[in-house]
Amino acid sequence: MDKSIRNLQPPNQLAEGFLKFAKEVNQKSIDLNTKFSEEEICDIFNNSFPGKIRANFLLWIGDLNKIISGINIILSDLSDLENNKKSLKGNPVSRSEFLFQVFFGEFFRIRETSKIFIKILTKEKVLNNKGKKSVTEFYFIAFKKMYEIRNMFIHEGLSFKDYDIEFGKEFYEILSKDEQEKFMKLIKESNTRENTIEIQCAIYIKFINKIMSDFLEFQDLLSNLLADLIIEYEGKALKITVANN
């Protein structure tokens, strides 16, 4: 079963803007009876608001997808351990804990990467300072629970016990029937961290998938909101400009 996280896609309304930009530049070249050089087109692009800000939007989505790619590598390794704790070199308990901690590090890079793009939108006056603060708070609210969980696992040393592991009813409900049977069999054999690492990796995977699913839903909403703000600002304040000579 594929456990990988899907990539983010830029909002469709921004892609349409690139086509409009290309048509306007082409029409201007026809009006002037000339053909712009590659350098001139690059200059037009960099000095026009829609070209520059939309390009930065695509770069932002690309950077977020690079982080998602890293998280998918973590999920792949955890999946290998879930299927067979001896599939990777080293101590499987230490490796699984390390992978889980790395996930938190990668996940929080999302917010830092997004803060850079929000600064760009503020500099271009798509967002005012109040809007910048609101978007930043949106991220904080969305990630607040993650900070609490991360702190428990990393700073407070929360982890599975080494032996006599106990889980409540809600834990079993998140597992498939096959996973429940496998887990119960492992517990009966030896209720230790070492012996139950496969099913614990399954828990890590479910946790990561739930967090990322919530994030993708949040990010899609935010991306569309920012895209609409960009288009609204373009329509009110700016036009693509091309030199007459």
Confidence (pLDDT) at 164: 55
Q: Is residue 169 part of a domain?
A: no
Give dist(CA 222, CA 210) in Å, integer. 18
Give dist(CA 107, CA 71) in Å, integer. 8
Q: Is residue 16 part of a domain?
A: yes
Cα separations in angstroms, 107 against 65, 114, 172, 233: 11, 12, 26, 31
The answer to whether the beta carbons of residues 51 and 21 sit under 8 Å apart is yes
Q: Is residue 132 part of a domain?
A: yes
65: closest CA among 223, 201, 180, 182?
Answer: 223
When mean pLDDT is compared across 62-71, 100-109, 181-190, the lowest value belongs to: 181-190
**Mean pLDDT along residues 42-61:** 78
Confidence (pLDDT) at 234: 75
Q: Is residue 36 part of a domain?
A: yes
Instruction: Using pLDDT thresholds of 50, 70 and 90, give the confidence band for residue 41.
Output: confident
Considering the entire predicted model, what is its pTM? 0.77
Number of domains in the chain: 1
Q: Is residue 223 part of a domain?
A: yes
For 56-66, write each residue's pLDDT tens digit: 898 999 999 99
Provide the mean pLDDT of the chain: 80
Structural domain boundaries, residue 91: 12-157+219-237
Q: Is residue 81 part of a domain?
A: yes
Instruction: Using pLDDT thresholds of 50, 70 and 90, give the confidence band for residue 169.
Output: low
Confidence (pLDDT) at 242: 41
